[in-house]
Amino acid sequence: MEILIRLKVKPAVSRKLIVPVTIRYDQLHVLIQLAFGWTNSHIYQFQPFQQRDLEYTSYIDDMAMWGVTQIRADQGYAYPDLQKERVVYTYDFGEDWEHVITLKRTLTFEELKEIQVPSCTWSRGENCAEDGQPAEMAQPFDKDELNDNLKLWSRAGEQLIRGDDQGLLPDYFE
């Protein structure tokens, strides 16, 4: 499937990714971390746009708001929700980086023969700085480098679910 992920900031930052229809939310989290240059240093959640009572999250919070159903991200699949509506991905609850994810289209088997899955097919804007860092500390966006990393991710399977252990941190964090 082809999805558009738009970070709600100005100037606009967006990525269009081809991902498997079988992708779980925890896996999609790692791809978004790679695509936007995040460092996987914070908790996150996915929430269908019109279902504010449902969250796919990195951990179950015993103090969650009453009436909100939390599902571990590794137990939920993005495609069924994206078929119905947009999904909001929030990263870093202190900064509240909100990304709106939209299903653009489902690819045919014939189309998939020529495409690396996952891959980035289009982008706008640079990577993002985290934790109040100045924008100049953000790494420039490089679509070829991202696609190389996505290719590695596709071969590594479950080993790359925890992206912070896989070299996502820029040199100045090490």
The 10s digit of each residue's pLDDT in 111-154 is 999 899 999 999 999 887 676 555 555 678 999 999 999 998 88
Confidence grade of residue 171 (pLDDT, cut at 50, 70, 90) = very low
| pLDDT tens profile 2-48 | 999 999 988 889 999 999 999 999 999 999 999 998 888 899 999 99
C-alpha dist (Å) from residue 154 to 39, 84, 99, 109, 116 = 19, 26, 22, 18, 9
According to DSSP, the residues that pair with 48 across neighbouring strands are: 87
Residue 12: the pLDDT is 86
- In the chain, the number of structural domains is 1
Residue span of the structural domain in which 108 resides: 2-173
Dihedral of the CA atoms 13, 19, 25, 28 (nearest 10)? Answer: -40
The per-residue b/e assignment along 104-121, b for 16 or more CB within 10 angstroms, e otherwise, is: eeebeeeeeeeeebbbbe
- Give the H or E element holding residue 45: strand 44-48
Tell me the CA end-to-end span of the chain in Å, nearest whole number: 35
pLDDT, tens digit, for every residue of 103-121? Answer: 999 999 999 998 999 999 9
pTM of the model: 0.86
**What CATH number is given to the structural domain containing 138?**
3.10.290.30
